[in-house]
Amino acid sequence: MKILALDSSGIVASVAVVEDDTLLAEYTVNYKKTHSQTLLPMLDEIVKMTELDLESIDAIAVAAGPGSFTGLRIGSATAKGLGLALKKPLVAVPTVDALAYNLYDAQGVICPIMDARRKQVYTGIYRFEEHQFVTLKEQWAAPIEELLEELNHRGEMVTFLGDGVPVFRDLIAEKLQVPYSFAPAHVNKQRAAAVAALGSIYYKEGRTETAMEHVPEYLRVSQAERERAEREKVQKQAGAEV
């Protein structure tokens, strides 16, 4: 089984191909370029370097969200376009799940944190039990202090990863009362290899969709939508006062 995976959910852009238990190729860039500039050229480079026939893949796994609204749209559009052109199914892999899967067989609980602005994070709580990936709490958007309270309540060692770590490192040190650590550089951000590996499991479980069915999972409305709702609220209040 061969899975092509894409992840453009955050500041990292990543493309990978996994065949059975072998990572054939992975191209990951964490630099100041838009994913519209990087994702397809990275895929093209992998295709050339591995002499990959895209017709030979079984499915396309894509980091489905949450994350950057623009990044998710680019990843989703790319996956949908490939799925339609190649007539291949898509596997939507929750972004936070894939982040956690980077830390295969880690001890204690795994807690990815993605900076969602306004002192909030996209997060989830996971562990490995007898080599099996277990979701203790599905990905959700939460105030960082609410998450830390929950982790304190659980009372277990925690490993953090994700782009929220540098943003909230000091607050974690101040508020967290359980042992914790931070994942090292090679596994602390999004990797398409993890999306592909987890996507392979989901594919075997029949968790696929067509390219037409796929939509990103944002978890909350965009800033532009929030600002529009606030303006409409102010306008309604002003109209009521008149």
Q: What is the mean pLDDT of the chain?
A: 92
In degrees and rounded to multiples of 5, residue 159 shows phi and psi of -115, 125
The pLDDT tens digits for 23-71 are 999 999 998 778 988 999 999 999 999 999 999 999 999 999 999 999 9
| Alpha-carbon torsion, ordered 74, 77, 82, 88, to 10 deg | 120
Q: What is the model's pLDDT at position 238?
A: 55
Reference 28, options 187, 202, 201, 167; nearest CA is 187
Q: Across the strands, what pairs with 181? A: 159
For tokens 């309540």, the residue is 153
Query: Counting every residue, how long is the chain?
Result: 242
Q: What is the pLDDT of residues 184-228, one digit of tens each?
A: 999 999 999 999 999 999 999 999 999 999 999 998 754 444 444
